[in-house]
Amino acid sequence: MDDEHPHALTIGQLADRTGLSVRTLRFWSDEGAVPPVSRSASGYRLYDAGSVARVELVRTLRELGLGLDDVCRVVSGRTTVAEVADAHVAAIDAQIRALKVSRAVLSTVSKRGSTAEETAMMNRLARLSAVERTQIIDEFKEEVFGGLTVDPQLGDRLRNLSITLPDDPTPEQVDAWIELAELVRDPGFRTRLRIWMELNTPVPGWSCPPGASIWWARQVVRTVADARRRGLAPEGPAAAEVLSELFGDADRAAVLRSLEAGIEAGAERYRRLVARLRGQNAFPDATDELRWLARALHTADQADGNSRTGG
């Protein structure tokens, strides 16, 4: 303060009023965020009551994460707080999505005990663009579902099957995407799943394949789960009653072929990953029930073979 500016504040007094350091205020002043209102005869910076309010605004915007360039644009009137806030929200959302991806990758690495090479691969899969992710799934669908002789309505459903990572995924969805992307890019998995699809997809004009009910009806899994809870052995006589309840007079050999193809393909794992990716509450893992059913069918098939040969 001097005689020409009796109500002016020196930078030290401004620091006392605002609780900020002289060093910070000098930096903000040099950058244009809190310019002095005048200079003393000796050339020292001088501020006023309006400068105190301006410092509070700058501090608030900085605490909210805005860069000093954006702060200067706001305090100079070149833009509004609302406009800058809108852009900053978008930037923060992008950072949050990136952090979620990083967290999911690191969580997966931790659970798997992954090597450096596996970690790099998973990171690349997680950070693929939406277009790149779509391309992976489209190539998979074409190889597995393309060319199947199916009812047109079912064909449309298969072609339009949506398997996408949301724009704002949870860590669980990112983890599911990493695992699913690895799976669907595996040529062996694609071949096995194609075989399974051919055995289970209804052909126009024909009845549904006998084994398809295992995969399309959860009642099958629930029935087997109940049998397992009751302690029924798949090789025992009670298992034959379960098979009769489930399949009646259906071709058991065809059912067994379908079931074994699905187990070998990993169809249950694929189903659960897709459900997790979509954020759906997937049915419990039915792998143990399906294997119990396969053993029961195999036992029944052997018994039928023995009876036919008189063994």
Q: What is the pLDDT of residue 198?
A: 83
- The whole domain housing 262 covers 128-309
Question: Which pLDDT tens digit goes with each residue over 210-241?
Answer: 666 665 567 888 899 999 999 999 998 899 89
265 within domain boundaries? yes
Average pLDDT, the chain: 84
Question: Which pLDDT tens digit goes with each residue over 49-69?
Answer: 899 999 999 999 888 888 889
Q: Write b or e for each residue in 158-196: b if 16 or more Cβ atoms lie within 10 A of its Cβ, otherwise e.
A: eeeeebebeeebebebbbbbbbbbebbeeeebbebbbbb
302 within domain boundaries? yes
Q: Do 64 and 132 share a domain, yes or no? A: no
Q: Which amino acid is at 27?
A: F
Question: Which pLDDT tens digit goes with each residue over 251-289?
Answer: 888 888 888 998 999 988 998 999 888 888 767 888 899
98 within domain boundaries? no
Q: Which of 43, 68, 93 is the last residue of a domain?
A: 68
Q: Are 275 and 177 in contact (CB under 8 A)?
A: no
Q: Do 35 and 173 share a domain, yes or no? A: no
